[in-house]
Every structure is written in C-alpha cells, then in structure tokens.
Amino acid sequence: MLRRSGLICMALLPCSQASAATAERSTAATLEDGTVIEAVTLTGTNRVSARIISYGATLQSLTAPDSAGELADVLLGFDDAADYARLPSYFGVTVGRYANRIAGGRFAIDGKSYQVSQNDKGNSLHGGAVGFDKRPWRIVRVTQGRQASVTLALTSADGDQGYPGKVEAVVTYSLDDHGALTIRFDASTDRPTVINMTNHAIFNLAGEGAPGGALGHRLTIPAAAITPVDETLIPTGALRPVQGTVFDFRTARSLDQGIRDGRDPQIVRARGYDHNFALDKGLTPLPQLAARLEDPQSGRILEVLSTEPGVQLYTGNFLDGSVIGKRGHVYRMGDGIALEPQKFPDAPNRPDFASARVDPGRPYSHVMIYRLSVAP
C-alpha cells in the first residue's frame, strides 16, 4: 500500500523487507489558485537524494556527499516549492514541448506552417510563454526497491502554445544506490508535431550558493563542433570546429578560462557560454556520455549521459542578482552550470539537423542520466 507521507512501499514488496532506494511522498505547497504541489524524495543507500516536485515536473534538489562525506545540495533553485510558480526561472524544470529556441517561433510540417508562442527576442524558447515547466503535472506512480522512482504525466492539448497535436507527456525520475539519477521523457501525439524535452538543472558541485560560484569547475564535452548562433542565439546552420577555440572541452579544463574571452564573437553574443555542442556520438539508442563536470574543491563529479545528439552548455548568463534562491542566496552569472541534452536548437527549420518530428504511432523518447560520484 502507498501512503503520501513517510515510507512508500511497492505493492509487491512488504514494508518489513529491507529495500535499497526509498521514496517519500508529501505535500510541498498550495498555490493561490488552490493547486496542490506534491513532492517525492528519492534516496539511495549511498546518501544521494533527489527531490522532485509536481509543478513543472521539477528536480528541486539533488544532494550528494563530497570526498569528505559532507552532504550538500548541488542545484540552484528555491526552498519554497511555490516559488517555482511565482518566480519562473527554469531551475531544474522539465522543458517542453520544445527545449531551447525556434527561430521566430515558426516552422512547417508537411507544408503547413505553424506559429508558436514567441517569448525570447521574437523567438520561441523552451516551449513558449507557458511551457511544460509552468504546468502542474500528475504523479501517476511512485516505487522503491532496487531503484526508487516517480512518474509524472501531463496532457498538452492540440494547439497548446500554437503547437499541433494533442500530446501525452510522461517523465520518470529513477534513482539507484550508485549515485545515478535517470530521467526518461516519453511522449505520444495524435498529429504530426515537434517535441524536444530535457531537464534544466543548474549545478554548483561545491554546493548551491558556495562562494566563488561554479566557474572553477572542470568540464569535458566529447564534441568536435558547436552550432554557432546569430545575435538572437539562433543557430546559423553551420557546424563550427571547436579546435583552437574557447569551446574546446574535449579534454578537461575550467570554465573560467574562456567565459570572458571577448575576442570570440560567440562569447560576446551569448554573454558567456549558451551554446549547443554537436556530440561526437550523435543520436544513440542507449545513453552515452555527453558531459563530465568536476569540482576540484569538493571532489564531486557529475557525468551527464544521454541518447540525444546535442548538449547545451549554459553558464547562467542572465542571472543578474534579481533572483533570491535557496537559503537566501542571490544568484548571479556563473553561480551554476546547466548541461542540457537535447535535439539541436531550431531543428524544425534545419533539415540537416537530427529531426525533432514526432508522428502518431511513433512516440518520442529521450533518456538522460545525472551520475554523481567523488574523485578517488
């Protein structure tokens, strides 16, 4: 029997039996319109824990030990779950229908043009003005045992934000006892549409709010090229080799070595790093390494794996001190790093990019993993 607070047990696993990863479900907040936000905390025996809230199917916190065994929450965000609705900032949210940007909010399918919500310099960003991140999701399943998991669902109506097709979206977070949080995105449609979903967690492996931010972290991205952008951060359509540039993370180096290099027009346009890397692995049936982030001070290591062909590196360039986050911390540029696996930005308008089209009977799926460990 499941219960909404305290330990949650699977129907086939008696509570008296020792289990590995656990799940705890509770009420997190109630919005002004009466919407109840629920939370599920997944915890592994290695003390890694993830708290997911139903608003935006959001990863609210991810807590992990450092090399000395000290625990810290490594995600930027808010302590109060209601703030994710009051102060939308994409911290840890599920992004959809289309993560990243679509030029002018326009694209065509089978010769028919669609205009979707424009919310970023005339473009559409992260699904538009009211994307998946700004919706209450339904918790449909919670389990524990070898892995602890929570599954959330959302129905997006035909015409939602201008997108064609009724979409049934599902996100499942699963935590094991080895520091791996798997996030699986599934979606089906009754009409041809475009879908590109990801998680928008912003990390500081030294601990959220740690002095000095995250720019001293060492980053590896196995990608020989990026998709350079124009003044509105839309890909030009070209692939630019990273060799000899501040975008070359094929071997580990710290972010602060290139983030302020004004000699590179791409850094100037994005105010830092806000670019899609074309992963060498491409689109894969199983998750493969997309990025590795290491904090030399705490010893924490984050590996990001994904089935998708790209990963967006974002260094919090638009955090300007106006957002007050967890424990009263003021967030500024470089206080956290996002690594968002996904299809390429503006893929619906770029036939040479991996297609984001989804058809009836051919559902969408993306599997990504946040794998935490410590340096030996």
Q: Please identify every residue annotated as catalytic.
A: 200, 340
Q: Rounded to 5, what percent of the chain is helix, strand, coil?
A: 5, 45, 50
Do the Cβ atoms of 197 and 308 come closer than 8 Å?
A: no
Query: CA angle, 215 as apex, 307 and 224 as ends, to 5°?
Result: 40
- Residue 267 Cα distances to 17, 262, 319, angstroms: 54, 6, 16
DSSP notation for 277-314: EE-TT-S-SS-EEEEEEE-TTT-EEEEEEESSSEEEEE
CA-to-CA distance for 229 and 237, rounded, in angstroms? 8
CA-to-CA distance for 141 and 49, rounded, in angstroms? 18
- Residue 148 Cα distances to 24, 42, 51, 151, 299, angstroms: 9, 6, 11, 10, 25
DSSP state of 103: G
CA-to-CA distance for 245 and 243, rounded, in angstroms? 6
User: Buried b vs exposed e over 221-247: b needs ≥16 C-beta within 10 Å?
Assistant: bbbbbbbbbeeebbbeeebbebeeebb
